Amino acid sequence: MNLSKHDLAILAVLREDARASLQEISARVGLSTTPCWNRIKKMEAEGVIQGYTVRIDPGAIGFTETVIVQVTLDSHTDETLFEFGKQLEEIPEVTEAYLVSGDYDYYIRIAVKDTRDYERLLRESLYRIPGIRHSKSTFVLRTLKESPIPLPPAPGPSKLVRTSKR
């Protein structure tokens, strides 16, 4: 899907506040509500907008530690990679997993309560997945940057209007 300047402006508004009303989005991007709604629906149908969510502070719900785990598998067949990915999907504490190039096969981001909780997760979940040859764990000391994916610049002059935060 080719995104117009209006589409990109809509995405910018929704990225900033996914709870913005249709009227607010329309006003900020310079469209009336019907064309704005149609563009949003089209971007949803095309998979550009994949959903609407809320950001939760992990520490507020007890997940005070983040661990980055690097994993090497014994085999690299399509079936092995598929099965490993499927097993990771079943572990709720796994928040992100990436198949990567380089010395390791996967980088996995895990949210845990503390080191004992991480040890439990290793014993009860991660190390029960067959085919792991080697793993290396690193505890995150502090998150320096966490941001949404950048939007490309809009073609032509933008009509995006800034409004004050609620």
Buried b (16+ CB within 10 A) or exposed e, 45-67: eeeebeeeeeeeebeeeebebbb
Q: Is residue 118 part of a domain?
A: yes
**Look-up of token digits 């719900």:** 61
Task: Work out the number of other CB atoms within 10 angstroms of the CB of residue 166.
Answer: 7
User: Average pLDDT, stretch 109-129?
Assistant: 97
pLDDT the model gives residue 153: 84
Please check whether residues 41 and 112 belong to one and the same domain.
Answer: no
What pLDDT sits at residue 97?
98
Identify whether residues 38 and 63 lie together within a single domain.
no
Using DSSP's 3-state secondary structure scheme, residue 99 falls into strand
Cβ atoms 116, 65 nearer than 8 A: no
Give the count of domains, the chain: 2
pLDDT band (50, 70, 90) for residue 159: low
Shared domain check, 64 and 23: no
Structure tokens at 86: 């499927």
Q: Is the residue at 35 inside a domain?
A: yes
What is the extent of the structural domain holding 119? 58-139
pLDDT per position as a tens digit, 75-108: 999 999 999 999 999 999 999 999 999 999 999 9
Average pLDDT, the chain: 93
Least confident residue range of 51-55, 70-74, 115-119: 51-55
What's the distance, Cα to Cα, between the start and end of the chain in Å? 32
Asked if residue 1 has pLDDT above 90, the reply is no
Tell me whether residue 165 is in a domain.
no
Q: Which residues touch 96 (CB under 8 Å, ≥6 apart)? A: 108, 109
pLDDT above 90 as % of the chain:
86
User: For residue 67, what is the domain's CATH number?
Assistant: 3.30.70.920
The 8-class DSSP code of residue 51 comes to -
pLDDT over threshold 90, residue 155:
no
